[in-house]
A and B are shown apart, each in its own frame.
Chain A
Amino acid sequence: MIERTVRVTVNGRRVEKTVEVRKTLADFLRDDLDLTGTHLGCEHGVCGACTVIVDGAAVRSCLLFAAQMDGHEIETVEGLANGETLDPLQEAFREHHGLQCGFCTPGFLMTLTCLLRECPNPSDAQVREAISGNLCRCTGYRNIVTAALTAARSRAASARP
């Protein structure tokens, strides 16, 4: 068993762990750091449920190894809310019924968090394009798109002086 020591920042917290080199980033987050909000829906990079943000980019944590993450900064769904206060995107998902079973939801939230940082005022088409690599089996996507557009508007409103 080959192991490596990795130093990463996860949701702003610095972590140092020794991991088996074949361990995926998703399993590292879930099993070594107990951050089980990152879900595994396919483990072959299609469904997007395991999406996390690495150095500002939305990536599939099932397709990366933990050992590749040394020195990188990772954000997961657990880092979105500020204590008990939901962030505007989470709040918009709740308000617009953008989730049902909730299993795919963390992946959508991370994909859209990334989109809204890069593109604070996206069009309907841009939102659809951004989430076209995330599968949801419950909602039919419509309310997810609405939630994302609403969150963008509320961020814009709160950013205004």
Chain B
Amino acid sequence: MPAIGRSVRRLEDRRLLTGRGKYAADFRLPGLLHGAVLRSPHAHARLGEIRSKAALALPGVVAVVTFDDLGDVGRIPTRLGHQAGNVVCLQRPLASEKVRYVGEPVAFVVAESRYLAEDALDVMEVDYEPLPAVADARRSVEAGTPVLHDAVGGNVATTLHTRKGDATAAMAAAHVRVRERLAVQRHTGIPMETRGLTAAFDAGTGMLRLWGVAKIPHFNRRVLADLLGHPEHLIQFTELEVGGGFGVRGEFYPEDFLVPWSAKRLGRPVQWIEDRREHLMAANHSRQQYHDVEIGFDRDGRIVALVDHFMVDLGGYIRTHGVVVPELTAALLPGPYRIPHYTAEARCVLTNKTPTGTYRGPGRYEGTFVRERLMDIAARKLGVDPLELRRRNFITPDEMPYDVGGGALAQRTVYDCGDYASALDKALAALDYESARREQAEARRQGRSIGIGVGFLVEKAGLGPWEYARVEIDATGHVVVYSGVASVGQGIETTLAQVCADELNVSPEKITVVHGDSARVPFGVGGFASRGASVALPAALEAARKVRAKIFRVASTLLEAAADDLVLDDGAVHVRGVPDRRVTFRELARAAVPGPPDMEPGLYAAHFFEAPMMTYPYGCHAAVVEVDVATGTVKILKYAIAYDIGKAINPMIVEGQLVGALAQGIGGALLEELVYDEQGQLLTTTFMEYLVPTVMEMPESTEVRILEETPTPLNPLGVKGAGEGGSSGCGAAVANAVADALAPLGVSITALPLSPDRLSALIRAAGDSR
């Protein structure tokens, strides 16, 4: 039975279930020192003297590092979404002259234990001269507002423009125009494992080693080499278990410089483990956007133009993701609809808040909420059923590939394939839409507020430019797959083993997967942007094919038989019909060095899979919710997701991705918000204030339909990537369902999250105005 397409149980699980998985904080070295970061309590202040004397006098405190100790250190560069003008907004590893958000690193204390390091933080003395702060992006752009970075000359770091056709003229000629202000709140990924890193320097060899890196080890190694002025080949990055990624974990943060810098300077290994309070104020925030959007329709309800002016709250600095979130928002805002004229203007605004980056479905969660909410509002105004309005405007399969008109990540948005109407039908069938409508009508008669909503989304996946893999049969006959991808807990080891298993005719359980170690895997891009399945797996597949050819080549020499007459079976090759004439992988691997004269020596092969174009999975979320009008509480009664990913390598893992992403989507729709006061103080610094969904907030029933209707032509497996679509349609579907539930009360839903306090305020306000 082929391994591809089967729900193979995960290779990762045994060690994780028995407590043997080693995460960042589980790593130990002799003589290990522990770091703690002194963070700014002010949102905006001039930084004066930093006095470390009392801290250094405490027993067990080894060093206090401030900006002046770092010498001529550079700024942390962008990885994606680079804009030349934004270099002045990039963050340095420690604050110099000014602090620009609560939580900004000001000093790094190193001690014999974490307890002692935190004692030292308590006696550090820093002179701050507080400055007026701005915590609201909408106020940040007004004249006379405090400016964060003088070199920018204001608080707008960049304005991005997208233009297709002539939206102004088309809008003016539209039969019906609908304009709305819609907003998504600041929230973020919140992996259960906080960040952490250990570094050790060997002064004898000059080797600097890091453990606990994640996501993009090869890229970050280069960044560190440049910032430290240390040769790249003398830095080794090793990934441990990673307790969740979601876009947040694994980017190059200030601490990723401070830990190795300190280890090198002190000549002793240093470990830093972030606590949860730090994580909430120091790791990337995401999602905060304000849209002023208008859509125009012709007489038949066909979209003629879309114009969106939106603002993205970047926080106090630009981090490694540059302005990629606004770029992606604009690139995919049109979604599944045929929109002949489209304009977007994205203002990227600085505020005195934690800097931002990507979070699962970056730009799509936000953009899908905006577009799909707008479609429902427009349908009401047009007097058309919202599903009918969508069907009328879907791009059809025969229009593929379809050029949307914008772009992101240095490529145009060109949808590869898709049958959107079918995905909508599948989601509605999974929800049992007709019954749900009947039940809603009955419930309304009983005075209950039940609503139904959909959110259709087009995702993007498979970001290139390439991924590397090497497949090897070692001298003991074991199959090893080396991949440049990284694990963020998604089960990539299992799926890598699956695609190689079929080529080499061994069971996936017998394959070892190696990743996230720069010494054992020389090249790699990493684990992000739903690229594991669609870029890393094809690389492994092609490498395995090359090894398969070499197996037959060597076996044919040893067995003195034509390759066509050989059979590959469970770690050995035999002559067809003569099972006794066989050689094992172990024998083949040894004979392959140097092997036949016309073959590259060794029973291994590498492959770079290049992916110049992204692929665009798509699907539909559909929700049935009940709103308690008295308390503003939303209960999700039923939920359905239909998502087309071309081909599911491991359906169990794909379903797990979709349901897990859904939980995060629900968090964004109903609960999660990073709240600041007007002075830029973060008010949500524990899990008592920042509410992550528990099992109790999940839908009473969830139906998932994994569709394989449109395999992508862009890779040999036809796979599109499954990591994000379970989240990105959720804000839209839940908001539309809540709006539907509350429509009789005249409540208008234009912003997330729909938390009980906000929703009850809206319900009260609607009651007052009636």
By a beta-carbon cutoff of 8 Å, the part of chain A in contact with chain B is 20, 22-23, 30, 34-44, 46-47, 49, 76-78, 80-81, 86, 90, 93-95, 97, 99-106, 109, 128, 131-145
Contact B193 A101, beta carbon cutoff 8 Å: yes
Cα–Cα, bound, A46→B664 (Å): 17
**Residue in A closest to B488 when the chains form the complex, CB atoms:** A101
Nearest-Cβ distance from residue A135 to partner chain B, whole angstroms: 5
**Residue in A closest to B687 when the chains form the complex, CB atoms:** A46
Contact B13 A41, beta carbon cutoff 8 Å: no
Nearest-Cβ distance from residue A5 to partner chain B, whole angstroms: 19
Nearest-Cβ distance from residue A105 to partner chain B, whole angstroms: 6
The CB with the most chain B CB atoms within 10 A, among A37, A101, A134, is that of A101
B38 interfacial contact with A, CB 8 Å:
no
Contact A100 B276, beta carbon cutoff 8 Å: no
Contact A77 B692, beta carbon cutoff 8 Å: no
By a beta-carbon cutoff of 8 Å, the part of chain B in contact with chain A is 9-10, 12-14, 16-23, 25-26, 28, 115, 189-194, 241-246, 275-276, 488-491, 652-653, 655-656, 659-664, 686-688, 692, 694-696, 698, 702
Contact B244 A42, beta carbon cutoff 8 Å: no
The CB with the most chain A CB atoms within 10 A, among B190, B652, B687, B702, is that of B687
Cα–Cα, bound, A40→B242 (Å): 14
Nearest-Cβ distance from residue A43 to partner chain B, whole angstroms: 6
Q: List the 3 closest pairs (A to B, CB-CB), nearest first.
A: A37-B19, A101-B489, A103-B243
**Residue in B closest to A1 when the chains form the complex, CB atoms:** B59
Which of A43, A86, A143 is within 8 Å of B14, CB to CB? A86
* 16 A-B pairs with C-beta separation under 8 A: A30-B26, A37-B18, A37-B19, A37-B20, A41-B193, A44-B686, A94-B10, A97-B10, A97-B653, A97-B656, A102-B13, A105-B16, A135-B694, A138-B656, A139-B663, A144-B695
Nearest-Cβ distance from residue B471 to partner chain A, whole angstroms: 25
The CB with the most chain A CB atoms within 10 A, among B10, B17, B696, is that of B17
Cα–Cα, bound, A49→B694 (Å): 13
Contact B489 A102, beta carbon cutoff 8 Å: yes
**Residue in A closest to B21 when the chains form the complex, CB atoms:** A102
**Residue in A closest to B190 when the chains form the complex, CB atoms:** A137
Contact B660 A138, beta carbon cutoff 8 Å: yes
Contact A104 B192, beta carbon cutoff 8 Å: yes
Which of B25, B653, B698 is within 8 Å of A140, CB to CB? B698
Contact A137 B16, beta carbon cutoff 8 Å: no
Cα–Cα, bound, A41→B655 (Å): 25
Contact B19 A77, beta carbon cutoff 8 Å: yes
Cα–Cα, bound, A38→B490 (Å): 21
Cα–Cα, bound, A21→B412 (Å): 61
Cα–Cα, bound, A34→B20 (Å): 11
Nearest-Cβ distance from residue A97 to partner chain B, whole angstroms: 5
The answer to whether residues A102 and B243 also contact, given A42-B686, A139-B660, A140-B698 and a CB cut-off of 8 A, is yes
Nearest-Cβ distance from residue A50 to partner chain B, whole angstroms: 11
Nearest-Cβ distance from residue B161 to partner chain A, whole angstroms: 36
Contact B13 A141, beta carbon cutoff 8 Å: no
**Residue in A closest to B490 when the chains form the complex, CB atoms:** A100
Which of B13, B242, B695 is within 8 Å of A94, CB to CB? B13
Contact B687 A42, beta carbon cutoff 8 Å: yes
Cα–Cα, bound, A55→B417 (Å): 58
The interface residues of chain B lying within 8 Å CB-to-CB of A36 are 19, 22-23, 25-26
Contact A93 B663, beta carbon cutoff 8 Å: no
Contact B695 A95, beta carbon cutoff 8 Å: no
Which of A46, A81, A138, A141 is within 8 Å of B698, CB to CB? A141
Which of B115, B192, B661, B694 is within 8 Å of A132, CB to CB? B694
Contact B687 A109, beta carbon cutoff 8 Å: no
Which of A42, A138, A144 is within 8 Å of B489, CB to CB? A138
Nearest-Cβ distance from residue B628 to partner chain A, whole angstroms: 19
Contact B115 A46, beta carbon cutoff 8 Å: no
The interface residues of chain A lying within 8 Å CB-to-CB of B26 are 30, 36
Contact B696 A142, beta carbon cutoff 8 Å: no
The interface residues of chain A lying within 8 Å CB-to-CB of B490 are 100
Cα–Cα, bound, A144→B9 (Å): 15
The interface residues of chain A lying within 8 Å CB-to-CB of B12 are 102
Contact A101 B687, beta carbon cutoff 8 Å: no
The interface residues of chain B lying within 8 Å CB-to-CB of A37 are 18-21
The interface residues of chain A lying within 8 Å CB-to-CB of B10 are 94, 97
Nearest-Cβ distance from residue A82 to partner chain B, whole angstroms: 11
Contact A141 B695, beta carbon cutoff 8 Å: yes
Contact A22 B244, beta carbon cutoff 8 Å: no
Which of A90, A101, A141 is within 8 Å of B18, CB to CB? A90
Nearest-Cβ distance from residue B447 to partner chain A, whole angstroms: 26
**Residue in A closest to B19 when the chains form the complex, CB atoms:** A37
**Residue in B closest to A100 when the chains form the complex, CB atoms:** B489
**Residue in B closest to A81 when the chains form the complex, CB atoms:** B18
Contact B13 A47, beta carbon cutoff 8 Å: no
The answer to whether residues A47 and B687 also contact, given A101-B489, A137-B692, A139-B660 and a CB cut-off of 8 A, is yes
Cα–Cα, bound, A140→B665 (Å): 10
The answer to whether residues A131 and B491 also contact, given A41-B193, A140-B660 and a CB cut-off of 8 A, is no
The interface residues of chain B lying within 8 Å CB-to-CB of A106 are 19
**Residue in A closest to B114 when the chains form the complex, CB atoms:** A27
Nearest-Cβ distance from residue B389 to partner chain A, whole angstroms: 30
Contacts A38-B19, A135-B694, A141-B663 supplied; 19 other A-B pairs, CB < 8 Å: A34-B28, A35-B19, A36-B19, A36-B23, A42-B686, A44-B276, A44-B686, A44-B688, A76-B19, A77-B18, A80-B18, A97-B653, A100-B244, A101-B241, A101-B244, A102-B21, A132-B695, A137-B664, A140-B660
**Residue in B closest to A90 when the chains form the complex, CB atoms:** B17
Which of B18, B21, B243, B698 is within 8 Å of A86, CB to CB? B18
Contact A102 B660, beta carbon cutoff 8 Å: no
Which of A22, A97, A140 is within 8 Å of B663, CB to CB? A140
**Residue in A closest to B657 when the chains form the complex, CB atoms:** A100
Contact B686 A103, beta carbon cutoff 8 Å: no
Contact B687 A100, beta carbon cutoff 8 Å: no
The CB with the most chain B CB atoms within 10 A, among A34, A97, A141, A145, is that of A97
Cα–Cα, bound, A101→B723 (Å): 13
The interface residues of chain B lying within 8 Å CB-to-CB of A132 are 694-696
The interface residues of chain A lying within 8 Å CB-to-CB of B659 are 139-140, 142-143
Nearest-Cβ distance from residue A136 to partner chain B, whole angstroms: 7
Nearest-Cβ distance from residue B561 to partner chain A, whole angstroms: 40
The interface residues of chain B lying within 8 Å CB-to-CB of A131 are 694-695
Cα–Cα, bound, A149→B31 (Å): 45
The interface residues of chain B lying within 8 Å CB-to-CB of A78 are 18-19
Cα–Cα, bound, A76→B653 (Å): 28
Contact B9 A100, beta carbon cutoff 8 Å: no
Cα–Cα, bound, A78→B275 (Å): 24
Contact A128 B19, beta carbon cutoff 8 Å: no
The answer to whether residues A99 and B13 also contact, given A22-B115, A38-B19 and a CB cut-off of 8 A, is yes
Contact B17 A86, beta carbon cutoff 8 Å: yes
Which of B16, B21, B276 is within 8 Å of A41, CB to CB? B276
**Residue in A closest to B13 when the chains form the complex, CB atoms:** A94
Nearest-Cβ distance from residue B533 to partner chain A, whole angstroms: 15
The interface residues of chain A lying within 8 Å CB-to-CB of B696 are 128, 132
Contact B193 A103, beta carbon cutoff 8 Å: yes
Which of A101, A105, A145 is within 8 Å of B695, CB to CB? A145
Cα–Cα, bound, A91→B490 (Å): 19
Cα–Cα, bound, A142→B699 (Å): 10
Cα–Cα, bound, A138→B658 (Å): 10
The answer to whether residues A143 and B656 also contact, given A37-B18, A90-B18, A99-B16 and a CB cut-off of 8 A, is yes
The answer to whether residues A109 and B17 also contact, given A42-B687, A101-B192, A101-B489 and a CB cut-off of 8 A, is yes
Contact B25 A40, beta carbon cutoff 8 Å: yes
The interface residues of chain B lying within 8 Å CB-to-CB of A81 are 17-18
The interface residues of chain B lying within 8 Å CB-to-CB of A133 are 694
**Residue in A closest to B702 when the chains form the complex, CB atoms:** A142
The interface residues of chain B lying within 8 Å CB-to-CB of A140 are 656, 659-663, 698, 702
Contact A94 B14, beta carbon cutoff 8 Å: yes
Nearest-Cβ distance from residue B497 to partner chain A, whole angstroms: 15
The CB with the most chain A CB atoms within 10 A, among B16, B194, B244, is that of B16
**Residue in B closest to A40 when the chains form the complex, CB atoms:** B25
Contact A135 B192, beta carbon cutoff 8 Å: yes
